Amino acid sequence: MKKIVICLIMGIVLIGCYSSDDYYDRTVRLQVRDVITFTNDKEYQVGDTLRFEVAFSRYLNEDGFSSPLDVFETTGAEAFSYGFDLYQYSDFSKRFEPIFLDSELVIGSKGEGSYYFGNGVVAELNETRDTYVSEVGVVLVESGTFQLDFDFLYFTSPFNENSVIVSIEYVRPSDGTLDLEFSVVE
């Protein structure tokens, strides 16, 4: 009888260890730098469109490996989802507060696989199939002082139970070369 109880307990423990949620075990984490192009005019008019571009190679360096990882071959992803942040300065709080844009104000590919709500877009594999590119515009509909924020920017391949997931962290330049604050006037 003891053997049956022990086998039953071991079986329950083994079943409890099984999980089909291997997201973190199947995620390759990479980093990119210098992938954002933003020409800041510092002052815009209401109705102008603020634009920035993201472009990163499908071949990325991976820690511990001598040759680059082909993220397209690894994931089969035609696009990587990401979300960007936009803040507006508030005189009430004396700080920048987050803004969640109406999707009609965001110009760019939102893609079907975007995981992000609000300010979510995708970087798509270009025609030559060597670079993921995203050209984004934001229609500026009110005046104030604003700031784009890419501090917690991750490009993520679509979830697929049968393939590896790639999460690419954007590392912002520490020298302040990416000036993201601007104002919008009437």
Rounded mean pLDDT, 75-82: 93
How does residue 167 score in pLDDT terms, banded at 50, 70 and 90?
Answer: very high
Output the six-digit token pair for 73.
């071959």
Distance of alpha carbon 4 from alpha carbon 22, whole angstroms: 31
Domains within the chain, CATH numbers bracketed: 21-185 (2.60.40)
Three-state DSSP class for residue 10: helix
| Whether residue 120 has pLDDT greater than 90 | no
Task: Quickly state the pLDDT bin for 119 (edges 50, 70, 90).
Answer: confident
Q: How many other C-beta atoms can be found within 10 angstroms of the C-beta atom of residue 79? A: 21
The better pLDDT of the pair 26, 131 is held by 131
Helical H segments across 30-184, by residue range: 71-75
Q: What is the pLDDT of residue 111?
A: 61
